[in-house]
Chains A and B, each alone.
Chain A
């Protein structure tokens, strides 16, 4: 065994460059595999795991402080189904002001006044302990409250205000502004968590003049799997309390559904990237290992001549590879785990979860084991024949220059190209297996780039479509004749808009006409939402009725057309699938107890209301509900009109209106997350593909050192040497790049379809797939040449600058 180790160490010392190449390739491969698998593992129900880890609350109830005593609230912990509680904690609404200089952008909902930003609404909770039995907070930066004057912000609030630990917030209390120092940023997984935490003793001073001090209780209940379970638990909790004690309630299932939706969208492309990464890794590892073993044939002959058995020879080869590969994994796996942390943090951010920190030891061991297995098997397979051949054969095989005189290379030699480049091109297939593996790595690398770019462009278009392409820059929530007891002051409109106040139908009509006559209004459509029962759907779903032309409001059509006549409707894919409807179907629906005949004319991309809704003409709704009231107005603006200015103008002239402007799709955290994951993985896989070319060229130039020396001796200049060596892989780049385009497009189409269907229950509009300009595809095809040139350049420079005289005089 000592002889084996001596041979192994001797070989590693002598072939440092080759060992370095194997090390780098294994490092990159293990990094990519760890990163992809880590994301994949972490994407498996992250909400559930985070929720379990911090003992999140299933129910969050806010009780009116003047209606119920602390003792009564404490006694709810013994209600049926309740297994743990936290609270009661005093909670109040206030407003925060921060210096203008501490923000980059004016936070939404705030107004600017001189040097400060005023009136940013913030919900404050008084809490002494972050580490409570229910809803353990995750301190992401800074520390927990230590004294009066300290404030810990929720991460969302810190993001919105664009402040960080150390900044000071002015909280506008009833008796004046109170400076509060931000000492920490924390995350809570529980529903309806507050914007900031302060010590309970400070709540009174920080409450605004209008803000009541309520009491928050958090509950863990059992069972808790369904909405019905949570409703039952809520009823049991409030059974012995006054009827109007509950101000607000929230449950974890809504947050979980939102998080799961984002997570499940990621899984198809993470799986795709993982597969691509693993296949590229396997190809390159097999390539680098087989090249290393083949180039060691001469040494194998010498070892056999010295008396080593075939088993010992194989041991030498395998140990050389495994030692180097192990070193690569030793660095690659931790680096992969580290590289995955920003992505995991972004994922957590997008899902509204506490930042994860996961030990990936089992995963790292699995990645290392798989890589070492691939390397070992390749070394054994490639080295088997050499180990079992005679010493003379192995020596001859290792020493003999390859003939390389194939018919294909002769044909390539006749292609009219600059001589140096042409000499390289004709050497493309000198080692067919290696060429195939290199081309395969380039192919997968370019396919990854095509796939990633396609996904990025498609997601941008789909997010834009979901945002309706900013076709509706301003939406106005109209005042309603709200039924008594249906809301409280400050209640949000059903679509998440600003507060609304009651008004008569005549007043509403006046408001509509005022908006219509505004010179900056280009077009508008009045909308309202009513319940409709559709065959095949258990619960009533919203029917959005539109008055006037609504074809411009920006819902992307997947198939069919936008409605244009009475009784015509459009619907999202999920509704069509669940109700077994297809374009052109006529079906009976029930609105307000009356049967209405509807015709489905279009399938739209629409993610509101759990993808179960209809959008159609006003007439059908008005036929069933004669006194139907307008709910909102979608407004298109004339070119050049700023939506914020327009909205501010409306709000100023008509304070009763709830006015909101469209969000920009690119600021969406989920969209940013997807893009960062896609870009990160694509870059790493592209680097691995380039490393594969690098490895091939290093091996080839070592084997061709004599040929290169001869050419230099007869006058080939260094630049021509570089050109020749780059030329030897250019054809592989062309082939890999060319084939990669259709493969990348297929991946893109299939994964996007899967993301839509499996994850968000929708088909994708044709525009979501048709994202590549032919010129861009041509450029992407050339990426293969870029990969090959990048990978070949450094070893080509080495070959161009290497010594020649000693090679030429050796036989």
Chain B
């Protein structure tokens, strides 16, 4: 199967001395159409890996390639274009804009991408409908439950039909019931052939959705296996 995401000997250090690497010589290849879970303890480099694939951060060494695009070579404007056309991002704490309504939050990436308001609205309502939160379209995020907010974030991530969906602890801030609902959503998305990279602590999420699990410890890949192997 063709790989969509390629990390080749990636290294990322944050401190000036370079003594402590958040990622150290990480090489991972992620195939299209699968859900890959990245797991590991706190500080293992999971979020750093996700940020590099999202183009939110740049590696100190090595290359990050998504499709035909080598992210290292892109300037900030091109990275922004990459994020709004190729990637959908979902965060643990939702990161919705509190001054906008649910609908407006979902519309923003499409509008930034130059999609007309009517077309973007139609797509947004479709997504909100499918995620069961169309009734809340006119509300502000502060009026929603955690699970509803995360569904708004998922709708926002999907509005531009991204090639790659990146999720950072999407159930981390949710109660059990809401978490279950989100897990179901990811499973549904996976069945549509959406490529997803998921950073999570949640074994339920990994076990029920992931076709592959990459384990990181101290910035290095310590295990990389198909779900079946993990489950065994």
Taking the nearest CB of chain B, how far is it from the CB of A420, in angstroms? 7
Contact with A along B70-113 (1 / 0, CB 8 A): 00000011001101110001011101111111001000110111
List the A residue with the shortest CB-CB distance to B86: A715
Find out whether the CB atom of A714 lies under 8 angstroms from the CB atom of B109: yes
Contact with A along B112-127 (1 / 0, CB 8 A): 1100000000000000
Find out whether the CB atom of B77 lies under 8 angstroms from the CB atom of A713: no
List the B residue with the shortest CB-CB distance to A427: B99
Chain A 391-449 residues near chain B, CB threshold 8 A: 401-405, 409-410, 413, 419-420, 423, 426-427, 430
Q: How far, in whole Å, are A710 and B91 apart by their CA atoms in the complex? A: 10
Find out whether the CB atom of A401 lies under 8 angstroms from the CB atom of B98: yes
Contact of A801 among B76, B109, B113 (CB under 8 A): B76
Chain B 23-52 residues near chain A, CB threshold 8 A: 47, 51
Known: A419-B111, A809-B92. A715 touches B47 (CB 8 A): no
List the B residue with the shortest CB-CB distance to A416: B117
Find out whether the CB atom of B77 lies under 8 angstroms from the CB atom of A714: no
Chain B 115-141 residues near chain A, CB threshold 8 A: 140
Neighbouring A residues of B51 by C-beta, 8 Å: 805
Q: How far, in whole Å, are A715 and B104 apart by their CA atoms in the complex? A: 15
Taking the nearest CB of chain A, how far is it from the CB of B99, in angstroms? 4
Find out whether the CB atom of B93 lies under 8 angstroms from the CB atom of A420: no
Neighbouring A residues of B54 by C-beta, 8 Å: 713
Known: A403-B142, A419-B112, A430-B99. A716 touches B80 (CB 8 A): yes
Pick from A115-123, A137-145, A224-232, A717-725 the stretch touching chain B.
A717-725
Q: How far, in whole Å, are A427 and B84 apart by their CA atoms in the complex? A: 22
Residue A178 CB within 8 A of the other chain: no
Q: How far, in whole Å, are A392 and B179 apart by their CA atoms in the complex? A: 30
List the A residue with the shortest CB-CB distance to B104: A413
Contact of A405 among B47, B92, B99, B160 (CB under 8 A): B99
Find out whether the CB atom of A718 lies under 8 angstroms from the CB atom of B99: no
Taking the nearest CB of chain A, how far is it from the CB of B13, in angstroms? 14
Residue A808 CB within 8 A of the other chain: yes
Find out whether the CB atom of B108 lies under 8 angstroms from the CB atom of A711: yes
Find out whether the CB atom of B97 lies under 8 angstroms from the CB atom of A711: yes
Taking the nearest CB of chain B, how far is it from the CB of A797, in angstroms? 11
Residue B56 CB within 8 A of the other chain: yes
List the A residue with the shortest CB-CB distance to B85: A715
Q: How far, in whole Å, are A713 and B95 apart by their CA atoms in the complex? A: 10
Neighbouring A residues of B47 by C-beta, 8 Å: 805, 809
Find out whether the CB atom of B112 lies under 8 angstroms from the CB atom of A715: yes
Residue B6 CB within 8 A of the other chain: no
Chain A 613-641 residues near chain B, CB threshold 8 A: none
Residue A706 CB within 8 A of the other chain: yes
Neighbouring A residues of B173 by C-beta, 8 Å: 811
Residue A707 CB within 8 A of the other chain: yes
Contact of A715 among B57, B83, B96, B140 (CB under 8 A): B83
Q: How far, in whole Å, are A800 and B168 apart by their CA atoms in the complex? A: 23
Known: A401-B98, A719-B77. A713 touches B108 (CB 8 A): no
Find out whether the CB atom of A716 lies under 8 angstroms from the CB atom of B91: no
Residue A804 CB within 8 A of the other chain: yes
Contact with B along A654-689 (1 / 0, CB 8 A): 000000000000000000000000000000000000
List the B residue with the shortest CB-CB distance to A803: B57
Contact of B98 among A404, A426, A715, A717 (CB under 8 A): A404
Q: How far, in whole Å, are A331 and B81 apart by their CA atoms in the complex? A: 45
Residue B149 CB within 8 A of the other chain: no
Contact of B89 among A420, A706, A714 (CB under 8 A): A714
Taking the nearest CB of chain B, how far is it from the CB of A801, in angstroms? 7
Neighbouring B residues of A401 by C-beta, 8 Å: 98
Taking the nearest CB of chain A, how far is it from the CB of B46, in angstroms? 10
Q: How far, in whole Å, are A752 and B111 apart by their CA atoms in the complex? A: 52
Q: How far, in whole Å, are A714 and B94 apart by their CA atoms in the complex? A: 12
Residue A712 CB within 8 A of the other chain: yes
Taking the nearest CB of chain B, how far is it from the CB of A82, in angstroms? 81
List the A residue with the shortest CB-CB distance to B160: A715
Contact of B97 among A707, A717, A800, A804 (CB under 8 A): A707
Known: A403-B142, A717-B76. A710 touches B109 (CB 8 A): no
Residue B151 CB within 8 A of the other chain: no
Find out whether the CB atom of A714 lies under 8 angstroms from the CB atom of B83: yes
Find out whether the CB atom of A808 lies under 8 angstroms from the CB atom of B56: yes
Residue B156 CB within 8 A of the other chain: yes
Contact of B80 among A410, A709, A715, A805 (CB under 8 A): A715
List the A residue with the shortest CB-CB distance to B95: A710
Q: How far, in whole Å, are A413 and B97 apart by their CA atoms in the complex? A: 13
Neighbouring B residues of A427 by C-beta, 8 Å: 99
Neighbouring B residues of A426 by C-beta, 8 Å: 99
Chain A CB within 10 Å — which of B91, B95, B111, B156 has the most? B95
Find out whether the CB atom of B80 lies under 8 angstroms from the CB atom of A718: yes
Chain B 132-169 residues near chain A, CB threshold 8 A: 140, 142, 156, 160, 168
Q: How far, in whole Å, are A112 and B140 apart by their CA atoms in the complex? A: 84
List the B residue with the shortest CB-CB distance to A715: B84
Find out whether the CB atom of B109 lies under 8 angstroms from the CB atom of A715: yes
Taking the nearest CB of chain A, how far is it from the CB of B110, in angstroms? 9
List the B residue with the shortest CB-CB distance to A714: B109
List the A residue with the shortest CB-CB distance to B111: A419
Find out whether the CB atom of A809 lies under 8 angstroms from the CB atom of B80: no
Q: How far, in whole Å, are A575 and B57 apart by their CA atoms in the complex? A: 79
Find out whether the CB atom of A809 lies under 8 angstroms from the CB atom of B91: yes
Contact with A along B185-225 (1 / 0, CB 8 A): 00000000000000000000000000000000000000000
Q: How far, in whole Å, are A423 and B83 apart by their CA atoms in the complex? A: 19
Q: How far, in whole Å, are A420 and B113 apart by their CA atoms in the complex? A: 11
Q: How far, in whole Å, are A404 and B142 apart by their CA atoms in the complex? A: 11
Neighbouring B residues of A715 by C-beta, 8 Å: 80-81, 83-85, 109, 112-113, 160
Neighbouring B residues of A410 by C-beta, 8 Å: 101
Taking the nearest CB of chain B, how far is it from the CB of A510, in angstroms? 84
Q: How far, in whole Å, are A405 and B142 apart by their CA atoms in the complex? A: 10
Q: How far, in whole Å, are A716 and B76 apart by their CA atoms in the complex? A: 10
Neighbouring B residues of A405 by C-beta, 8 Å: 98-99, 140, 142
Neighbouring A residues of B81 by C-beta, 8 Å: 715, 717
Q: How far, in whole Å, are A751 and B27 apart by their CA atoms in the complex? A: 74
Taking the nearest CB of chain A, how far is it from the CB of B169, in angstroms? 9
Neighbouring B residues of A811 by C-beta, 8 Å: 92-93, 173
Taking the nearest CB of chain A, how far is it from the CB of B197, in angstroms? 15
Neighbouring A residues of B56 by C-beta, 8 Å: 712-713, 804-805, 808
Neighbouring A residues of B80 by C-beta, 8 Å: 712, 715-718, 720
Find out whether the CB atom of A713 lies under 8 angstroms from the CB atom of B83: yes
Chain A 790-811 residues near chain B, CB threshold 8 A: 800-801, 803-805, 808-809, 811
Neighbouring A residues of B76 by C-beta, 8 Å: 717-718, 800-801
Find out whether the CB atom of B108 lies under 8 angstroms from the CB atom of A419: yes
Find out whether the CB atom of A403 lies under 8 angstroms from the CB atom of B57: no
Neighbouring A residues of B98 by C-beta, 8 Å: 401-405
List the B residue with the shortest CB-CB distance to A422: B111
Neighbouring B residues of A707 by C-beta, 8 Å: 97, 99
Q: How far, in whole Å, are A402 and B85 apart by their CA atoms in the complex? A: 30
Find out whether the CB atom of A409 lies under 8 angstroms from the CB atom of B108: no
Q: How far, in whole Å, are A805 and B112 apart by their CA atoms in the complex? A: 20
List the B residue with the shortest CB-CB distance to A418: B111
Q: How far, in whole Å, are A405 and B100 apart by their CA atoms in the complex? A: 7
Q: How far, in whole Å, are A805 and B53 apart by their CA atoms in the complex? A: 12
Neighbouring A residues of B93 by C-beta, 8 Å: 811
Find out whether the CB atom of B77 lies under 8 angstroms from the CB atom of A718: yes
Q: How far, in whole Å, are A719 and B77 apart by their CA atoms in the complex? A: 8
Q: How far, in whole Å, are A555 and B113 apart by their CA atoms in the complex? A: 65
Taking the nearest CB of chain A, how far is it from the CB of B55, in angstroms? 9
Add 10 more A-B contacts to A707-B97, A718-B77 (CB < 8 A): A410-B101, A426-B99, A427-B99, A712-B56, A714-B84, A715-B80, A715-B113, A716-B84, A811-B93, A811-B173
For the complex of A and B, the 3 pairs showing the least CB-CB separation, nearest first, are: A715-B84, A404-B99, A717-B80
Would you give 20 A-B contacts (Cβ < 8 Å), ordered by A? Answer: A402-B98, A403-B99, A404-B99, A419-B111, A423-B108, A707-B99, A709-B95, A711-B97, A713-B54, A713-B89, A713-B91, A714-B83, A714-B112, A714-B156, A715-B81, A715-B84, A715-B160, A717-B76, A809-B91, A809-B168
